[in-house]
Structures are given as structure tokens and as C-alpha cells.
Amino acid sequence: MLKQVTKQLALQGVRTFSVGQQNNYKVTVCGAAGGIGQPLSLLLKQNPLVTDLALYDIVHTPGVAADLSHIDTKSKTAGFIGADQLGDSLKGSDVVVIPAGVPRKPGMTRDDLFNDISNSIAKNCPKALVAIITNPVNTCVPIAAEILKKAGVYDPKRLFGVSTLDVVRARAFIGHALGVDPQTVQIPVIGGHSGVTILPVLSQSQPLFKGNQDTIEKLTVRIQEAGTEVVKAKAGAGSATLSMAYAGARFAGSLLKGLNGEKNVIECSYVQSTVTEATFFSTPLVLGKNGVQENLGLPKLNDYEKKLLEAAIPELKKNIQKGIDFANA
């Protein structure tokens, strides 16, 4: 009987879930009403591993949640508005994604932007995997780390700066340049998430990006400056939102796959690191049930990429120190 009902539901396009799979994760989006937050929440609403989608912002979340709740996927969607409801939005969350903040305007650097909700995470979901999208990522992640440390709940395996958009862009640009499907391109993008700290390791791309040194340098700079390309094109209306939502949903999806026991889930992300002199650094990571399962370290670099790394490290160290000083001020 049960089998028949399940078959009937499947024919109607209704998904059912086998007993034994966990498939019941709570994800909180902080900044859910924003340019990134809304499309990110839409994409997360479609992730079958999510059963509870909590949307937190200081504005508009009741409307965003009501709208998303009419989508016929299994997750329950709830809106939380204002600081009084922050704790409830985070209570028991498995994954917290943070795109709360202010987008960059032309002429601003990412250092003008900052937002933090780490204290509430420490109280309400200290074991959650936390993915910070808010800029400046290079500085916000060390700030969050310091605050979580003070609250006695910091676990470096569970705190991530989202640099996935750099990988997504590199895949798009390489795929289009080579005339191959960008989804088939593999490329590590390491370092941090701003300007010279973004280090696309083109020598390791698969398929190989072939080109003379001039072409390679142009593509490297394009990937490093791709955020500025969007800021300029939007001409005062903000920075990347849709591509970031896509990248954020992919990264959160990978965190959930890792939590759910899937093997060989690999993403580049900005985490506490001993791979270089910079104490936070993005390299390819294997994701698992407790967040970072293994840091795969630096990919092989050619001489040009070694020079890029030399340029990135002092900038990253400065960004990191700024975060530590800010949090301890």
C-alpha cells in the first residue's frame, strides 16, 4: 500500500524521503531580505537537504518568507525580523549563511563594509557551520573567529569565508574562453576574497587554460577584479547579487552534503589555516560531518603564481590583523 502511494506521489512529481537518510537540516540566512539574501533563500528553498529555512533580517522577512513558503518543496520557511528575533532564527541551526551587510558602491573598498551576528550564533547554535558572505570577507572571518573564541565556542573547522564566487567566475571565464561547458571546468582559487588576495591557479585548471603569459595575466586580473566589473556595471545599484546567490547556495549545499555524510565534497573556502604565513587562507577543503575534514593545502604553483602568492600574503595578513584588532578593541 505504502509503495503504491509513494509511486503515485512520484508520478505526480511529489518527492518522498527514504527512512534512514537524515535530510532534515535547519539553515538560517542572516540578511535574507537583501539583494543576495532573497535569491539565495530561493535557491536554498529548493535544496532537498533543507527542512527548516529561517530567514532573518532587520526588514521585510515576513513577506519574503510568506512568498517562499508557497513553493512546493518540503522545507518550512519562517521569517524573523529585528534583533529581538535573531536568537529564534538561529536556534538549533545546522548551517548559518550570512549575507547581511551593505553592498559596495563605486569608489568604496570592501573595508567600508561590516556586519556581525557572531554573538547570537555562539548562544543559539554553537555547533553550526557558519558561512560568511559579508564583505570584507578577509577581515569579517577573523572578527567572527575572535568573537566566537571569547564566547568559548570557536571551532576553526566550522567557520568559513565564502570565496566560491571567485571559483564560479573562474569556471565561467575559462569555460567560455575554451569553448567548453563551464560546469566541467575544475580550478582552485586560493588566498582571500579581494583584489590581489584572490589567486586563481590557472596552471592547475582542467581542462588546461592554454595561453601566452599576457593572456594568463589578463585572465588572472579579470578574476581578481570581477567584483569591480559588476559594481561598475550596476553603476551605484549595488554589487554582485545573483551570481553570489548561486555561489552561496552551491557552498551551503556542499556544507550540507558534507554534514549528510557524502564523500569527496571539495570546495575552496577561506578558513583558519597553517598552509601559509597568513592565519586565514583559502585552499581546497574536504567537507564532512564536522565541517572541514581535511585541508588539501596549496595546489602546485608555477613561478608566476608563486609571485602572486608573495603579493597576496602581506595584504591578507594586514586584513586579518585588522579583524583581530577590531574584535579586541
Q: Contact residues for ligand NAD (CB under 6 A)?
A: 30-31, 33-37, 57-59, 99-104, 113, 115, 133-135, 137, 162, 165, 193, 238-241, 244
Closer residue to ligand NAD (CB): 84 or 212: 84
241 touches, from ligand LMR, ligand NAD, none (C-beta below 5 to 8 Å by class): ligand NAD
Beta strand extents in the chain (DSSP E only): 25-30, 50-57, 76-81, 95-98, 129-132, 159-161, 189-191, 198-200, 265-272, 280-288, 291-295
Closer residue to ligand NAD (CB): 31 or 200: 31
Nearest to 194 by CA among 312, 35, 113, 40: 312
Distance CA 56, CA 88 (A): 9
The response to whether 158 counts as a known ligand-binding position is no
231 touches, from ligand LMR, ligand NAD, none (C-beta below 5 to 8 Å by class): ligand LMR
CB-CB contact of 95 with 131 (8 Å): yes
Residues in the chain: 329
Distance CA 78, CA 90 (A): 11
The response to whether 313 counts as a known ligand-binding position is no
323 touches, from ligand NAD, ligand LMR, none (C-beta below 5 to 8 Å by class): none
Closer residue to ligand LMR (CB): 79 or 248: 248
CB-CB contact of 193 with 312 (8 Å): no
The response to whether 135 counts as a known ligand-binding position is yes
Q: How far is the CB of 23 from ligand NAD (least distance, A)?
A: 28
- Choosing from 60, 70, 176, 193, the catalytic residue is 193
Radius of gyration of the chain (CA): 20
Q: How far is the CB of 47 from ligand LMR (least distance, A)?
A: 23
Closer residue to ligand LMR (CB): 53 or 137: 137
102 touches, from ligand NAD, ligand LMR, none (C-beta below 5 to 8 Å by class): ligand NAD
Distance CA 226, CA 169 (A): 8
Q: How far is the CB of 224 from ligand LMR (least distance, A)?
A: 10
**Residue with nearest beta carbon to ligand NAD:** 34
Closer residue to ligand NAD (CB): 10 or 278: 278
Beta strand extents in 164-222 (DSSP E only): 189-191, 198-200
Distance CA 164, CA 188 (A): 10
Helices (H), 25-150: 37-45, 61-69, 86-90, 118-124, 137-150
Residues at the contact surface with ligand LMR, assessed by CB under 6 A: 104, 110, 135, 165, 227, 230-231, 239-240
The response to whether 33 counts as a known ligand-binding position is yes
| Catalytic residue flag (residue 70) | no
Burial class (CB in 10 A: 0-12, 13-18, 19+), 238: middle
The response to whether 222 counts as a known ligand-binding position is no
* Binding site, annotated residues for substrate: 104, 110, 135, 169
Active site members: 193
* Binding site, annotated residues for NAD(+): 31-37, 57, 133-135, 244
